[in-house]
Amino acid sequence: MTITAPPLSNVAVLTPGVYHPQDDSRLLIDAVEQHVVLEGRTVLDLCTGTGVVAIAAARLGAASVTAWDICPQAVHCSRTNAAAAGVTVEVVLGSWAVAVGRGRFDVVLANPPYVPVSPGLPPVDGPAQAWDAGHDGRLVIDPLCAAAPQLLTDGGTLFLVQSEFTGVDQSLAALTAAGLRASVVARQRIPFGPVLTSRSEWLERTGRTTIGCREEELTVIRADKR
Ligand SMILES: C[S@@+](CC[C@H](N)C(=O)[O-])C[C@H]1O[C@@H](n2cnc3c(N)ncnc32)[C@H](O)[C@@H]1O
């Protein structure tokens, strides 16, 4: 995660404490634009934040867009942004996990928290809930990979963005184990933002990155339900 990307024009309102769209948001939207047709299809955006991905899906012609976020400020922000954009997005307050069993979708999109946290740090709370995801960064991604088939219609597709520091091969293996056909469809190297910069020594010490490296690779994974 970084803060180098220019703002995405999809969102009129950026609320303090709600994750501002960044390179990962943009990479996910670009991958969706390039790799799937949304016109006439049902879309679920998990972890919606400002609603930037959900609004993009609506603008790409999705038949319906449902979005979830666990943060009340994000829900308010994304509803405001969808209204300002003139698109219909149903935004639900709650954990993505509650969406499981409440319907299936043709396309599921997720930019979840995925940044690994040093075990010495206090539990995730407040704005860090948008990015911190346990010591391996997989607090949300592991259960999401396992539940993906229950969220998708037959022939449906999941797009998931994450960092190299969160184990891309682990996600591919987890999705394959869940019965999906998974592959990487987009990659981008970006400079460390403030969060990873503050953890760079820990990343080096634990072998997650090489000494002096201050870049991470973001990846978009596509997983299809046959
Ligand atoms: C990295 S931000 C992504 C926001 C937006 N989709 C984007 O691409 O800019 C992750 C979002 O996930 C939300 N979140 C964290 N844990 C969640 C959970 N268990 N269920 C739903 N949303 C969650 C956070 O509140 C935050 O808005």
Q: For 187-214, what is each residue's pLDDT tens digit? A: 999 999 999 998 999 999 999 999 999 9
CB 43 within 8 A of CB 54: yes
Name the most confidently modeled range: 3-12, 38-47, 111-120. 38-47
Average pLDDT, rounded, for the chain: 93
23-225 is classed CATH 3.30.1490.190:
no
> How many CA within 13 A on the CB side of residue 117?
18
Instruction: Name the DSSP letter for residue 157.
Output: E
Region of poorest pLDDT, from 5-9, 27-31, 208-212: 5-9
Question: What residues contact residue 176 under an 8 Å CB cut-off, 6+ apart?
Answer: 182
From 13, 27, 69, mutation site for ligand 1 pocket: most ligand atoms within 8 A of C-beta: 69
**Statement: residue 215 has pLDDT above 90:** yes
From the CA of 211, how far away is ligand 1's center (Å)?
Answer: 30
Tell me what pLDDT residue 4 has.
43
**Statement: residue 7 has pLDDT above 80:** no
Q: Structural domain boundaries of the chain? A: 23-225
From the CA of 161, how far away is ligand 1's center (Å)?
Answer: 12
Sheet holding 42-46, edge to edge: 90-93, 64-69, 42-46, 105-110, 152-163, 215-225, 180-191
Q: What is the 3-state secondary structure (H, E, C) of 27-95?
A: HHHHHHHHHCCCCCCEEEEECCCCCHHHHHHHHCCCCEEEEEECCHHHHHHHHHHHHHHCCCCEEEECC
Mean pLDDT for the stretch of residues 78-88: 97
From the CA of 201, how far away is ligand 1's center (Å)?
Answer: 26
From the CA of 71, how far away is ligand 1's center (Å)?
Answer: 8
Q: What is the pLDDT of residues 86-118, one digit of tens each?
A: 999 999 999 999 999 999 999 999 999 999 998
- Per-residue CA distances from 186 to 24, 92, 135, 138, 190 (Å): 11, 28, 25, 20, 13
| Residue with CA nearest ligand 1 atom 18 | 95
